[in-house]
Amino acid sequence: MAIAPRTPLIAGNWKMNLDHLQAVAFVQKLHWTLKDAKHEDGSVEVAVFPPFTDLRTVQTLLDADKIPFALGAQDLSAHDSGAYTGEVSGAFLAKLDNRYVIIGHSERRQYHAESDEVVAAKVKAALRHGLIPVICVGETSEDLEKFGASAVPVAQLTAALAGVKADAEIVVAYEPVWAIGSGQAATPQQAQDVCATLRGVIAEKLGADAAAKTRVLYGGSVKAANIASFMREPDVDGALVGGASLVVDEFAAIIRYQKHVGV
């Protein structure tokens, strides 16, 4: 069966920034900027991941103004309902027309002690509710020195895919934790090598067709100045953007990377 080309995905993770009013202003300005540049033609999928408190407001704006951005949440509970104070169910996110949910982000692993088992449970919860999990994997500088390149991301992804069906739609995001916030991105070749290895894990666990269609993103100090070099690599299908996604002109330039790669 022929596999359709993978549509690049540029995703902005706003983390704990922007209240619902600021989020509305940001989305409107980003939309106007891209529309003026005639860059909402579907050649690149744009997704925004605001804080939980912004989701309903942003969803209403996207729907009312027919803004072609996908909506995503930054986390979800492994549980569907019950006495779990402060948790947010995948069922609730699905009702707000979220398409994506980030799972296993390095900050969740580090600050909230999320284990590979918790991440795997959250992946299953997302899929139960028709959400596409953006499964984050990556290594610290200590991991890199101790285990070598790709070892920790491979182990994390292998655990996250346990019990996932071959036809499930997922996204994988490689985060070199050693690069995040440092201003020191991985080289395009380093990103390519790890992303290709992760695609191999998908092939092993879910099959060749799944590996061919699954988008693997790079996320680590992504900027307008370096996005084109990453997107030239065959196994890099987009970017999970942190701080740069909070600046409209910078994020718009990242989304418009194609003008720099001649695509």
Please tell me whether 221 is known to bind a ligand.
yes
Active site residue 233: no
Active site residue 129: no
Give the active site residue among 105, 114, 139, 233. 105
For 215, the token pair is 């988008």
Please tell me whether 148 is known to bind a ligand.
no
Please tell me whether 226 is known to bind a ligand.
no
Is the torsion defined by CA of 218, 224, 229, 235 positive or negative?
positive
Give the active site residue among 107, 114, 139, 175. 175
Contact 83, 49 (CB under 8 A): no
Task: Give 171's strand partners.
Answer: 134, 215
Please tell me whether 13 is known to bind a ligand.
yes
Please tell me whether 90 is known to bind a ligand.
no
Please tell me whether 14 is known to bind a ligand.
yes
Give the annotated binding-site residues: 13-15, 181, 221, 242-243
Give the annotated binding-site residues for substrate: 13-15, 181, 221, 242-243
Residues annotated as part of the active site: 105, 175
